[in-house]
Structure 1
Amino acid sequence: MALKEAGGSLPVPNVQQLASSSNDVPIRYIRPELELERVSSDDEYVQVPVIDMSKLDDGDDDDDVELAKLHSACRDWGFFQVINHGVANTMMMKMNADIQEFFNQSLHEKMECAQLPNTIEGYGQAFVVSEEQKLDWGDMLFIIARPLDGRNMNIWPKVPSSFRATLDQYSTELEKLTSSLLSSMARNLGLEPGKLLSLFKEGMQGMRMNYYPPCKQATKVIGLAPHSDATGLTLLAQVNEVQGLQIKRDGKWIPIDPIPGAFIVNVGDIIEIMSNGEYKSIEHRAVVNPEKERLSIATFHSPNFSATIGPLSNLLTKDKKGQAPNYKSISHEDYLKLGAKIKLDGKGKGLIHQMKIQPEALNGEK
């Protein structure tokens, strides 16, 4: 079972076209529960940690300081931004421009890249599994960029003509950045620097390009329902300057203010599981602007398909007493099957809850 088969979706209306043709919002998009959600006010605003990648592995005292900041960010926040990350600004701007041009096309032209049945790849939606399910106010183009032999070029856009070459280069640069982050995270966890890298070598890299149209009833719809990422590590780039990402912390939603040229990084469920809970994946969502469109690109990184998804044995035995596993260990294939059963429906960290070992199970109780 490949990941591309783990996110099939029922066909739903194109939101970009829906938003451009009418101010009325169909009932399937209206979410009354949003009125009850608490959002952090301006006077409560707290910025997520910022990690300077140029200070990691530089061989001086800055290395230890920045590593400690990274460790705290992964453990206490699950979200952070990275600056001086080595991905050229011209590269990011070109990727952004190509994504914008793709979504500017007519629906007929975009449908040249439409999802096929039972796959997550292509232009459309993901995780719509019933006719009654509430829908997100947004469209997406999802592409598996790595491993290279996993690419389905039939759904890679041909317009703009530079899209494929740009995405290929962007994919390479983000793989390098992810490898650097994984190496530093391994050091912070007390592992050999190459431990996480070996698990993610030839792993899956998926890119979700998001288009959130404006909505006059923005407070009643959601661009992307609350969830944590089932993958390992996610790097998010803003395509335009419209803010929309929020993370859940202390029972409130906190808006993320993106630093221009930075990547917003978040810990996924797999890293939480592999670290035995020392690092945490965090619920997040995308909200909609009443006047402006928002575009973003999230790049997900997962281990290779031969990797076992479970707490790393090195962490369970790093002290003399040993440490009990807090999560199950299952094959990557079984993990994907489990994830495919849990739809993206606003119930937060459902996959993590399925993977957790309950205390009574550790005690042999039923």
Structure 2
Amino acid sequence: MTGPMEIPVIDLGGLNGGGEERSRTLAELHDACKDWGFFWVENHGVDAPLMDEVKRFVYGHYEEHLEAKFYASALEFLRAGAHWVPVGPTKGGRLFVNIGDQIEVLSAGAYRSVLHRVAAGDQGRRLSVATFYNPGTDAVVAPAPRRDQDAGAAAYPGPYRFGDYLDYYQGTKFGDKDARFQAVKKLLG
């Protein structure tokens, strides 16, 4: 259970349980996707030794190749007037899940892709290993048909080739997402 401003934490072990436990876990996932656009998961099945090995590799690569670039880009970010709204530290074996643009389009806005930025903590670094689950570049993306579909689906682009979206996204990823959706929609029109 979470407080009023705490990011939801979902125990995925409940998906392996009986009917009521599984239904409750699915409802928690639905609510987190709908109301927050991101959440923590526990009991996700990723082995702790694998997570530790990834951390060692990422920190080693960061310190050897990226640390100086990070500080230079962070300084530019601050000079541009930006400011940090941190998600907070990873707790134990939790993973952070963020709903992406394709899920927002497929769900016709029922699940929102939330604007987010990585913020370093007081030690000057933050481990973030982003893993993206995207369709192939030739895959066609559009709002999924639903029985209770309302006019909200009309606000989303589609159908479009995911590769075309990626090409457009590269130049607009830090811009307004809704404007990007509308621009992609006009490109298709």
Q: TM-score, normalised by structure 1?
A: 0.43
Q: How far off its partner does 1:214 sit?
A: 9.9
Deviation readout 1:196-250 (Å, 9 max, x if unpaired):
xxxxxxxxxxxxxxxx44999799368xx79xxxxxxxxxxxxxxxxx773xxxx
CA 334–217 in structure 1, closer or farther in 2 if over 3 Å, else same: closer
CA contact (8 A) 1:221 1:288 kept: no
**Which has the greater radius of gyration?**
1
Look up the match of 1:293.
125
Look up the match of 1:323.
150
Give the letter for the 1:88 counterpart. D
CA 276–351 in structure 1, closer or farther in 2 if over 3 Å, else same: same
How far apart are the structure 1 equivalents of 2:185 and 2:110? 13
Comparing 332-341 and 58-67, the one that deviates more: 332-341
Q: Do residues 54 (structure 1) and 17 (structure 2) align?
A: no
How far apart are the structure 2 equivalents of 1:334 and 1:292? 36
Q: Write out aligned runs for 1:201-216 (5 A).
A: 212-213=70-71
Deviation readout 1:93-147 (Å, 9 max, x if unpaired):
0111011122232xxxx4xxxxxxxxxxxxx7xxxxxxxxxxxx985xxxxxxxx
How far apart are the structure 2 equivalents of 1:245 and 1:259? 18
How far apart are the structure 2 equivalents of 1:221 and 1:45? 33
Q: How far off its partner does 1:355 sit?
A: 4.3
Look up the match of 1:200.
none
Q: Write out aligned runs for 1:86-101 (5 A).
A: 86-101=45-60
CA 138–79 in structure 1, closer or farther in 2 if over 3 Å, else same: farther
Q: 3-state DSSP class of the match of 1:56?
A: helix
Q: 3-state DSSP class of the match of 2:60?
A: helix
Q: Count how many residue pairs are aligned between Structure 1 and Structure 2.
A: 180
CA 292–337 in structure 1, closer or farther in 2 if over 3 Å, else same: closer
Higher relative contact order (CA 8 A, sep 6+): 1
Over aligned residue pairs, what C-alpha RMSD do you find? 3.4
Q: 3-state DSSP class of the match of 2:21?
A: helix
CA 66–138 in structure 1, closer or farther in 2 if over 3 Å, else same: farther
Identical positions, percent? 31
2:78 to 215, 220, 238: 220
Look up the match of 2:29.
70
Look up the match of 2:88.
256
CA contact (8 A) 1:215 1:288 kept: no
Task: Compare the two structures and name the one with the higher helix fraction.
Answer: 2
CA contact (8 A) 2:157 2:181 kept: no
CA 336–218 in structure 1, closer or farther in 2 if over 3 Å, else same: closer
Structure 1: runs of 5+ lacking an equivalent: 1-43, 111-123, 125-136, 140-211, 227-243, 247-254, 362-366
Q: Write out aligned runs for 1:279-290 (5 A).
A: 279-290=111-122
Q: Do residues 336 (structure 1) and 166 (structure 2) align?
A: yes
Q: How far off its partner does 1:282 sit?
A: 0.5
Deviation readout 1:252-284 (Å, 9 max, x if unpaired):
xxx334322111001001100010000000011
How far apart are the structure 2 equivalents of 1:268 and 1:300? 9
CA 218–333 in structure 1, closer or farther in 2 if over 3 Å, else same: closer
Give the letter for the 2:49 counterpart. T
Q: Do residues 270 (structure 1) and 102 (structure 2) align?
A: yes
CA contact (8 A) 2:156 2:182 kept: no
Task: Compare the two structures and name the one with the higher strand fraction.
Answer: 1
Q: 3-state DSSP class of the match of 2:129?
A: strand
CA contact (8 A) 1:305 1:332 kept: yes
Q: TM-score, normalised by structure 2?
A: 0.78
